Structure 1
Amino acid sequence: MRQSASIIDTLSEGYRAIHRRPAALLLVFVFNLALLITAPVSFAPLFNRFDSFLTRLAGASTDTNSDTQVQMSALLAELGQTDLRQTLALMNVMPRFVIPRFAPGALATGSMSAVVTIASVPEALLTFVLINLIVFPIGILFLTLVGAAVRGEPVLHRDFWRVLVHIGVAVLGVMAILAAAFVLIGIPFTFAAALLMAVNEVLGILAFSLILVVIIWVQIYVGFANEAIVMSRVGPLRAIRTSFEVVRRNLWGVVGLLILSLIITRGTEVIWEMFGNSTAGGIAAALGSAYIGAGLAAARMAFYRERLRRLSEQHLVRPRA
């Protein structure tokens, strides 16, 4: 029986796949460049109106509430000076591009002259919808290209468009299932924790901490659902179950991959921040970030495929990859 590949071997396989099929790298690079050259989006007027509403609402508050109001005002002011394009892109499945001009409060430096300001709730909803309508199909194309690279398939094969549509529908299904679970389970528990916070601050903090821990572990266990869709060509429910099974039986390997990926991502972000203050540096950062992100995405798919085959050899799951 074959031994499981090491994390380093998996990362190497991912980057070799990107070297063989650089189309995914090019897609992310172009997307990063688009983020650099297009105008940032700010909700400053909307946040200012909300801050004024909170100030009027807390007009006769205690000193403690005043301190809370000051902190909330500072947070809203910082958010108002932040480019929210990537924050609003909840349906983005591509690697994130992080440089100083996307940092919280970066718009206050005046480095970006043209800013799209959103002043009303309908405009905010329309902006949210438009951003996700743009990034979601691009992200699905990215996943399809990365999956083809890991599989060793040509960029455009006979069933490319059918596979693209299947991946898009399945990924959308996973998002819908997770969103429904959050609405049905997460919101009631969050509301209960908020009530507990009003009764006892310590118990409230513990409750919110517990919710945060649960969210993190849910993200870990269902985190390979997209890889299951791309590599195994399964539907959303089967993808979530397969992701859970792969993670459950390879927990320490998954944790190791996530930690190493986080170290690589955060470490290289320091370099992109050094480059990102100039035009030439921003282009270099866009290319470097695209390369790191595409390689790590390919490594996740290689990890999923190798561990799924390992489980199939042990007759623990039925292989579909």
Structure 2
Amino acid sequence: MNSSPQRGLIETLAFGFSTIHRRTFLLLTPIFIDLFLWFGPKSTIAPLLLSDPAVTSIDNNGITSLLGMLNVWGLLAIQIPTVIGYTTIEISPVIIGQMDLHSWLVVIPLVTILAIFGILFSCVYRSMIASAIKNEPSSRNALMARVILAWLRFSVLAIAILCIPLMMIALIQMGYAVIASLLTIPILIAAFYAFFTIDALFVSNVGPKTAFQFAHLVVKKHFGAALGIFLVVTLISLGMALIWASLAMNSIGTLTAIVGNAYVATGLTASSMVFYQDRISTVQAQEG
């Protein structure tokens, strides 16, 4: 790993966005995914869920109904910043439109395939950003090798992360909402300490377990700075999401939001990787 001096918060953001300025092609993945989700199909499992008495009978909090309204094609945007995402709102022009799913024999294979490709696209996107941050020479073969390895690792990590919301939903559906509420704060704390796990996966090129350990180490050794970048990235992301949503009321506004989101979100992703790379290099140097 390349060693570099620690940058402050402003310097980290500046370096992250300057990397995007030098390699604007990094914006293409979120833009293309957003355009596909905008013009492409919007498939939900709402009819399938709502027509199943066994499902509706335990839907005490409307969670099943909410999940049923999500666009399953949004799985192509796993860990890729998009404006359209899982929404089924049709903003003109729409090419294909609504395609409801009525059979689990279709849903399960479709969701599996979309998740596989979604993780793959995310690995391509983040691997290219990590290579740009580390100023690695461009090599198609090397990139493909990193992407394939990252896809295997990221898939394991994604499954582990998915277990958390599934557990929370299960608790709520079974009537244990109080327990789910009590678990919220510990989960949020754990999420903060694991904030750089995905960055570690791509920047340090390690497996999920080591990535989490590195992420935890960075937060532990640089708590104040880590909290700062965490808050900045989170607050900017949430604030810009509101702005993009307000813009995406017509075709021109949606296109503007898609490009703007790709730029800001990719810059923040790069900045987070820069922060992680600086701190983990320092930590590893100190620990010999």
TM-score computed with the length of structure 1 as normaliser: 0.75
Distance 1:17 1:3, change over 3 A: closer
Matches within 5 A, 1:47-126: 47-50=49-52, 52-53=53-54, 72=62, 79-86=67-74, 88=75, 92-98=78-84, 103=87, 106=89, 114-126=97-109
- Is the contact between residue 33 and residue 82 of structure 2 (CA under 8 Å) also seen in structure 1? no
Q: CA deviation at 1:209?
A: 1.9
Which residue of 148, 152, 155 maps to 1:169? 152
Give the alignment partner of residue 160 of structure 1, picking from 121, 138, 143. Answer: 143
Q: Is the contact made by 1:32 and 1:97 (CA closer than 8 Å) also made in structure 2?
A: yes
Q: 1:118 to 1:165 in 2, by over 3 A?
A: same
Larger-Rg structure: 1
Deviation at 1:25, TM superposition (A): 1.0
Whole-angstrom distance in 2 between the partners of 1:41 and 1:195: 28
Within 2, Cα distance between the matches of 1:110 and 1:54?
33
Equivalent residues of 2:16, 2:267 under 8 A apart: yes
Kept in 2, the 8 Å contact 1:18–1:24? The answer is yes
| Whole-Å separation in 2 of the counterparts to 1:141 and 1:54 | 37
* Count of aligned residue pairs for this structure pair: 284
Deviations 1:219-276 (A, max 9, x none): 2222322211222222232212111111222223222212211221122223222321
Give the equivalent residue in structure 1 for 2:218: 246
* 1:55-74 alpha-carbon deviations (Å, 9 max, x no partner): 6x59xxxxxxxxx86x63xx
Contact 1:97–1:289 at 8 Å: present in 2 too?
A: yes
- The CA deviation at 1:196 is 8.1
After superposition, the C-alpha distances for 1:61-113 in whole angstroms (9 at most, x for unaligned) are xxxxxxx86x63xx655554443433x45x822223258xx55x746x99967
The percent identity for this pair of structures is 19
**1:200 corresponding residue in structure 2:** none
CA displacement, residues 170-216 of structure 1 (integer Å, 9 cap, x when unaligned) = 2233335556x759xx85x987888784xxxxxx51x2222122222
Alignment match, 2:247? 275
Asked if 1 retains the 8 angstrom alpha-carbon contact of 2:37 and 2:84, the reply is no
User: SS at 2:186's partner residue?
Assistant: helix
Closer, same or farther: CA 82–167 of 1 in aligned 2, 3 Å: closer
Instruction: Label 1:193 to 1:284 Cα distance change in 2 as closer, same or farther (>3 A).
Output: closer
Letter in structure 2 aligned against 1:223: F
Q: CA deviation at 1:14?
A: 0.8
Gaps of 5+ in 1: 59-67, 198-203
Tell me which residue corresponds to 1:293: 265
Give the TM-score of the pair, scaled to structure 2.
0.83
Aligned mate of 2:193, from 197, 209, 221: 221
Instruction: Look up the SS of the partner of 1:42 in the other structure.
Output: coil
Corresponding position of 2:206: 234
Give the structure 2 partner of residue 23 of structure 1.
25
**Counterparts of 2:222 and 2:24, CA distance in 1:** 29
**1:196, 1:54 → 2: CA distance?**
15
| CA-CA distance at 1:13 after TM superposition | 1.1
Aligned to 1:140: 123
1:126 deviates by: 2.0
Match of 1:128 among 111, 123, 128: 111
Cα distance in 2 for residues equivalent to 1:155 and 1:95: 24
The one-letter code of the counterpart of 1:116 is M
CA separation in 1, counterparts of 2:141 and 2:181? 49
Q: Structure 2 regions of 5+ residues with no counterpart?
A: none
- 1:193–1:252 distance in 2 versus 1, CA, 3 Å: farther
SS in 1 for 2:154: helix
